[in-house]
Amino acid sequence: MPIKFPFVKKRKNEVSSHHPVGLNHKQIPKHVAIIMDGNGRWAKNRGMPRIAGHKEGMEVVKKIVRFASDLGVEVLTLYAFSTENWKRPRNEVEFLMKLPVDFLNTYLPELIEKNVRVQTIGDFDVLPPHTKKAVQEAIERTKDNDGLILNFALNYGSRFEMVNAVKQIAAKVERGELDTEEIDEALFSSELYTCDLVEPDLLIRTSGEQRLSNFLLWQLAYAEFWFTEVYWPDFTENHFEKALYDYQNRKRRYGGV
Ligand code: IPE
Ligand code: IPE
Ligand code: MG
C-alpha cells in the first residue's frame, strides 16, 4: 500500500505548478533510473489480469515523465522490458510489446511539445516490427529536442550489454585498431548502450523487491538506491519527490572521506 509522507498532500496528476516542499531545485539528480516493478501484483490484488497492471503502469509513466521534465531531470531511464522477460506467458509478452505503440500513439505529441527526446537502450533489432516502428518514429521525431532524455530500457540486459562491449573491444584488438593496454574504464563505457549518457545518480525500484534484475550493473556503481513497497501503478509524483528529497540528503563519498 502507498506510503504516506507527512509533508505530502493528495493532489491531481498535473503538478507543473507545484513545488515540492523541501526539495532543493538546484540539486536535482541529472539521471534517474527506475525499475518499474509490481504491475502484476497490483492487478492480481484487484482480481484483474496482469496486463491490466501494465496498462495502468503506462499511465504512471506519463505522469512521472511530465514531472521529471518539469523538475529539470536530464535523463530518465525506465526499465520497460528485460532480456529475461521473454520467459513470461506469450499473451503478456505480446501485450508488453504493444505498450510502446499505445504509449506513443497517445503521448508522442505531448513529448514533442515538452521538448522531450526519446531514446532506447537494449537489443532493439529483435523486437517485433510494430514495436520497432513506433519507437523509431518517436526517436526520429524527437531527435532534435534538447529537454529531458526519456530513455526506455527495452529488451535490455546488463550482462548482454557488457558481453557485447567485450566482443566489440576484442574485435578492435584483433583488427589491430586497439592495443590491450589501451583498454580502460572509459573505453569500456564507450562500448555500452549508455555511452552518450551521464551515469545514473539515483536508482528507484518499486514493489518492495530490492535487487537489480540485470539492470545497469556497470553504470550504477555509485548511484544512490531508493526502494519503496509501492507497486508501480500506485507510484505518484509524491513518491518521486520523496525519492529525490532523500537523494538530496545522502552523502555521496565515492570512496573518499
Ligand atoms: C513490472 O511489473 C513490469 C515489467 C516487468 C514489464 P511486473 O510485471 O514484474 O509485476 P510483478 O513484479 O509481477 O508484480
Ligand atoms: C525487472 O522486473 C524488469 C522490469 C521492470 C522491466 P522483473 O519483475 O522482471 O524482475 P524480477 O523477476 O522480479 O527479478
Ligand atoms: Mg516484477
**pLDDT tens for residues 22-67?**
899 999 999 999 999 999 999 999 999 999 999 999 999 999 999 9
208 CB within 6 A, ligand 2:
no
Pocket of ligand 1 contains residue 96 by CB under 6 Å: yes
DSSP one-letter string for 65-125: HHHHHHHT-SEEEEEEEETTGGGS-HHHHHHHHHHHHHHHHHHHHHHHHTT-EEEEES--T
Cα 51 to middle of ligand 1, angstroms:
9
214 classed as catalytic: no
Q: Is 37 in the active site?
A: yes
Quote the pTM value: 0.93
Counting as low any pLDDT under 50, the low residues of the chain are 4, 6-17, 19
Q: What is the pLDDT of residues 172-185, one digit of tens each?
A: 999 999 999 999 99
Domain 31-157+199-248 has CATH 3.40.1160.10: no
Find the 215 Cα to ligand 2 centroid distance in Å.
Answer: 9
Residue 126 CA: distances (Å) to CA of 35, 132, 156, 181: 22, 9, 11, 34
